[in-house]
Structure 1
């Protein structure tokens, strides 16, 4: 009961999942999700819908309708390196039947289903009256829920490096969207390897990317932030103790982003103050780009340290080394204090993390470990996980596991059998090619990694002896499955998507018991 009392102020029971981050913009809801399933064994699978082409956006839910995107189907594998057009989809949530689809042409090409992203990386939005779809290659469009077009907006994006997790969301009448300020041809046509021009252009802040507030009813730009944001940053929204709506944006990181200085800004979303800094804090080391936070604390990783910042002024409340003298738990061995290693010149974690109460959960970078840091006490724990599940065809007791991320070999394919992935697909999802954001439903964390292995964690249980790990599930055949999409939840069902299909997961025993 203590757990529920702690979470009720920040999470709601989910009937609709209106953005990739859910109805509360924090990937968290109350509810009772299925915790065990298998696509290989058709265990607790309500339906599957094959997709003509790969995609990475999450499945958005409103009532009995689902919304997502995929790339326009390629006809041969050699076309995978240069795609630009996206298909918006509306499906029947009860059956998976495609109800309608619309094309969103792009203006620049991108690699299909890259290990970081592609043109479908941004998930749709829905408010019950309208639905908005996004093509990272240069278009967004608004429709009513029956597919009638309301407006379109085309623009040419800067393509120095692939966007990752900068998911759009609705705040008031504005869609929050990350794009470059000045889209003149000289800027948008800059090649990724033209470092001399990049350095020259970066002196002009019009070349930077910013959060834009776009009118959800017209597609017009209402405002933009004043500080800049790296394209990898996923600016998460929350409410401060004084009731003010705000978000955290990050600058800096790998591949020499032009926005600076490196650090983070707590930015106001209050009407009349949109885009203004509440405070800004610089960090010399890489700061992971997907910052989950609450009204009191902002936890983050920089170098080999975990910081807990006060939301009031950005001051440091707690700083701990999360690699030295940590507690390591294993399912079959006693817990022990030890040091963990990170890869040379690489941070120990990237973006796959979530804050649940006072506990900051994350996937490690160099090994198959789930980390947990208490933001108040600074305690650091890890649980060793199997790196991948090899699902048995007949029962869960036949499941086998690869224990090291070095053992994982993946050749994911699309519905036509093309090996369309370009980078990072032959990984376990714990390293440089990080996995999608987890979600929290009730007390259970749903942690997918790129191979289609999904860990379910009970946040009310200790990591000791692996007690918190309640299930390891699959989204398809090992070695031929790939996903970079977060789960979504609505009315007792989970929705997932892989390179091949959309999947509806439902606890069949509970459904049968209610009949």
Structure 2
């Protein structure tokens, strides 16, 4: 009998352990959110879910494969998609009535022709007059101009970027390179002298500069638009404006005012405007409350932070309130607001960088907490660089459980704060400038280990043989191994590499690094395109160029902030900036072609852009681009 009792006890413990191991519900899970996607990271804010439902892994918007419906969006946006039963929530930038880019290009061609024609006429007059100053400046310009043209001709990066991106790259090179500085110095003297000889040329040049500005694109607004759509067909049910305080550029490659995902608990929906606003609505779109706040300025103020709800609290990243004299005005902190009233409940004493994306989770002893980080570029002021685990337990909410500071300077260690701050009950992930990775004990805040990231086994695709080849112990140099976006699965850290089409896997215990090369795109016949950087038009669904940041029009692995990967069961979904979604098996024994489950598209080749995370609810994947929202899975 004793043996039977012991066996029963053992089995009950095993069943409890097994259910805990396979069910993602935790103390941070939003009530009744099974099969829903209530906020940026899903039901428990971790970007990880486990389900018995069928999970789409293969689809194509281009061919219609496994696509239930698509809905055109009037304007771009970057928020995730919150899902509750039959309703979807997302945000876009306000539509603006500006000319289509094709019309702008026509205007530009006319203005350019008029300007160049008149400029040439003035030059001919100066030549006929044998103007000594003109001839002297023209002669002085010849050699710097030749050297500059040859420099651009042989500059690989400049030649590889899209036509829309080239003017910005050229301007940066001109500002930094001695050859560019010499050319622009002589060109300005020469051009200024020619313009001074003709009032008509000055007028035409002024008009040409206006059209040049239109050609560069861009739009901005303080407010954003919250959309509610029918999850069954994408039909718009209602839309509401969420006010902001500072005008924000549309579709900036590093987040814009629409970045935070809406939040819903099935009774209400909340939206955060990164330009300085929050609002709460009923599920039918009735306003409950709204508030505005002033974001930090003087640096890129839009943030990589994404939405978090815990119990009756909405968490947000803001500077201190105007009447708060106990915190530093120029710094950002984690604020908690009562979701029912919008009243501020608490503010952390420790600051966090606006680039940082905190993640809620459960500590080793089963208590709720949120991880925040400090450090980064553009002279972000929040200090000290490092991590803080903030308690969400009722008796200690908003207070630090521990703080960790790296020994390295911000230039090296601050990279970790640019991450989505994934952690679990045992460890926290922190990057050091692309070459090293640090693991911190999430129980104590003590550093566990530091391991290299830049010595890797690479699986590189050989186009001639049509097979992957293993290259062992490849040494990567800094920019060759910058990380894009990251997620942890057990002892493995996965991240997309920036600038190079590779996915990386780092084992935090053994230090083993593996990378697999990814195809850049898929051709019209469904074949992978290898080793050929792609481009996109940067246009919204109306054909307008409302993004003024040319980096949005790079090759998909360009410098930008991509949303967190989403993990469904053992599959991890990474989306690059061209809307190519790579599905990886986190449990693959070897990080070779067996780990690459599928490569999917979110829209037409050369006309798709996205920096979003996907959402999974009710057996469907919901994703978006600048042009449309997509429901995946029949």
Which TM-score applies when normalising by structure 1? 0.88
Is structure 2 residue 486 aligned with structure 1 residue 338? no
| Aligned partner of 1:49 among 71, 78, 84 | 71
Q: Name the structure 1 match of 2:141.
A: none
C-alpha distance in structure 2 between counterparts of 1:274 and 1:104, whole Å: 28
Q: Name the structure 2 match of 1:329.
A: 459
Aligned-residue offset at 1:35: 0.7
Is structure 2 residue 85 aligned with structure 1 residue 63? yes
Is structure 2 residue 531 aligned with structure 1 residue 363? no
Aligned-residue offset at 1:471: 0.8
For 1:203-222, list aligned pairs within 5 A.
205-222=328-345
Is structure 2 residue 415 aligned with structure 1 residue 415? no
Residues 372 and 382 in structure 1, CA contact (< 8 A), matched pair in contact too: yes
Q: Name the structure 2 match of 1:451.
A: 578
Aligned-residue offset at 1:469: 0.4
C-alpha distance in structure 1 between counterparts of 2:82 and 2:371, whole Å: 23
Seen in structure 2, the aligned counterparts of structure 1 residues 38 and 14 have a Cα distance that, compared at 3 Å, is farther
C-alpha distance in structure 2 between counterparts of 1:348 and 1:495, whole Å: 30
Residues 246 and 270 in structure 1, CA contact (< 8 A), matched pair in contact too: yes
Seen in structure 2, the aligned counterparts of structure 1 residues 209 and 351 have a Cα distance that, compared at 3 Å, is farther
Q: Name the structure 2 match of 1:190.
A: none
Alignment deviations for residues 237-281 of structure 1 (CA, whole Å, 9 cap, x no partner)? 110111221111111111110101211111111113222111111
Residues 328 and 381 in structure 1, CA contact (< 8 A), matched pair in contact too: yes
C-alpha distance in structure 2 between counterparts of 1:181 and 1:429, whole Å: 36
Residues 112 and 422 in structure 1, CA contact (< 8 A), matched pair in contact too: yes
Q: Name the structure 2 match of 1:253.
A: 376
Q: Name the structure 1 match of 2:521.
A: 389
Aligned-residue offset at 1:63: 0.7
> How many residues are aligned here?
479
Seen in structure 2, the aligned counterparts of structure 1 residues 503 and 492 have a Cα distance that, compared at 3 Å, is same
Displaced runs of 4 or more, over 6 A: none
Q: Name the structure 2 match of 1:87.
A: 225
SS at match of 2:329: helix
Unaligned 5+ segments in structure 2 are 1-17, 27-32, 100-213, 462-466
C-alpha distance in structure 2 between counterparts of 1:415 and 1:144, whole Å: 29
Aligned-residue offset at 1:179: 0.6
SS at match of 1:408: coil
Aligned-residue offset at 1:402: 4.0
Seen in structure 2, the aligned counterparts of structure 1 residues 6 and 128 have a Cα distance that, compared at 3 Å, is closer
Unaligned 5+ segments in structure 1 are 188-200, 509-515
- Which protein is richer in helix relative to its size? 2
Is structure 2 residue 399 aligned with structure 1 residue 377? no
Residues 117 and 164 in structure 1, CA contact (< 8 A), matched pair in contact too: yes
Residues 534 and 556 in structure 2, CA contact (< 8 A), matched pair in contact too: no
Larger CA Rg, structure 1 vs 2: 2
Aligned-residue offset at 1:204: 6.6
Alignment deviations for residues 122-179 of structure 1 (CA, whole Å, 9 cap, x no partner)? 1100011110012112221101111111111122222321333201211121101001
Q: Name the structure 2 match of 1:100.
A: 238
C-alpha distance in structure 2 between counterparts of 1:431 and 1:183, whole Å: 38
C-alpha distance in structure 2 between counterparts of 1:376 and 1:11, whole Å: 26
Q: Name the structure 2 match of 1:8.
A: 22
Between 1:8-17 and 1:166-175, the stretch displaced more is 8-17
Which TM-score applies when normalising by structure 2? 0.72
Residues 108 and 138 in structure 1, CA contact (< 8 A), matched pair in contact too: yes
